[in-house]
């Protein structure tokens, strides 16, 4: 059995175990849960205490920065910047992280691992998708960034939970009946405290 270790940060080491005997087994990922999970827990706690994730979509980086600054000065403490915003990584997110290091900033509509890595490198504390992107979910298990996958049905909610999601985004909840759908869904998962309403 070969053991390969990959360090994602100085605090967490992820290991893949792979059998060399036929038939070949798929890699098994084993991760530590030290300071990396503390970062995720801190982000999750901040989201829950905030009660809202403000979502920002703008046609220019300048407009996005102005709107974000206004929202943050107005009391918003958790802000998602949507991927379609021009300069989302290199201009908007990096600047806001420098100006507001204690704020929980994230990137939304993340659909692939490359964009997830760019968001993390720019300082995102959470990633959000309109659906569950399995490759991002796998990478998030060893990362310091909270991943919030999008779900629609009870089956998708359970699948996301079984895959390691700590919180989900019900999307598009307005098309499903809004708060009534959330209330009925919460009844199915009464022991879970991790449903996130997103219209």
Instruction: Tell me what pLDDT residue 69 has.
Output: 97
Q: Under a CB-based contact definition with an 8 Å cutoff, are residues 112 and 160 in contact?
A: no
Number of structural domains, the chain?
1
Residue 48: Cβ within 10 Å count: 13
Q: Identify the active-site residue in 80, 125, 144, 166.
A: 80
Does 134 reside within a domain?
yes
Rg (CA), the chain: 18
Local confidence pLDDT in tens for the 199 residues of the chain: 332 223 333 334 343 334 445 555 544 444 545 555 789 999 999 998 998 999 999 999 999 999 999 999 999 999 999 999 999 999 999 999 999 999 999 999 999 999 999 999 999 999 999 999 999 999 888 889 999 999 998 899 889 988 989 889 988 888 888 888 888 777 676 555 555 544 4
Assign 111 to helix, strand or coil: coil
CATH number at residue 46: 3.20.20.70
Does 115 reside within a domain?
yes
Q: Identify the active-site residue in 125, 144, 166, 169.
A: 169
Does 180 reside within a domain?
no
Q: Under a CB-based contact definition with an 8 Å cutoff, are residues 31 and 56 in contact?
A: no
Active site (annotated) includes residue 169: yes
Active site (annotated) includes residue 80: yes
Domain of 117, in residue numbers: 32-148
Q: Under a CB-based contact definition with an 8 Å cutoff, are residues 154 and 184 in contact?
A: no
């Amino acid at each position: 059995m070969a053991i390969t270790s990959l360090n994602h940060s100085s605090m967490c080491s992820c290991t893949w175990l792979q059998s060399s005997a036929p038939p070949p087994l798929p890699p098994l990922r084993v991760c530590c849960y030290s300071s990396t999970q503390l970062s995720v827990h801190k982000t999750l706690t901040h989201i829950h205490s905030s009660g809202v994730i403000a979502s920002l979509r703008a046609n220019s980086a300048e407009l996005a920065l102005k709107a974000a600054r206004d929202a943050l000065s107005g009391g918003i403490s958790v802000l998602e910047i949507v991927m379609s915003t021009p300069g989302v990584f290199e201009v908007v997110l990096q600047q806001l992280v420098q100006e507001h290091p204690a704020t929980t900033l994230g990137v939304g509509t993340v659909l692939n691992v490359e964009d997830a890595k760019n968001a993390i490198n720019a300082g995102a504390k959470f990633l959000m998708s309109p659906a569950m992107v399995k490759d991002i979910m796998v990478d998030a298990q060893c990362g310091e960034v909270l991943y919030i996958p999008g779900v629609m049905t009870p089956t998708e909610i359970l699948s996301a939970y079984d895959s390691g999601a700590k919180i989900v985004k019900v999307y598009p909840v307005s098309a499903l009946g809004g708060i009534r759908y959330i209330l009925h869904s919460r009844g199915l998962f009464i022991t879970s405290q991790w449903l996130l309403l997103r219209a």
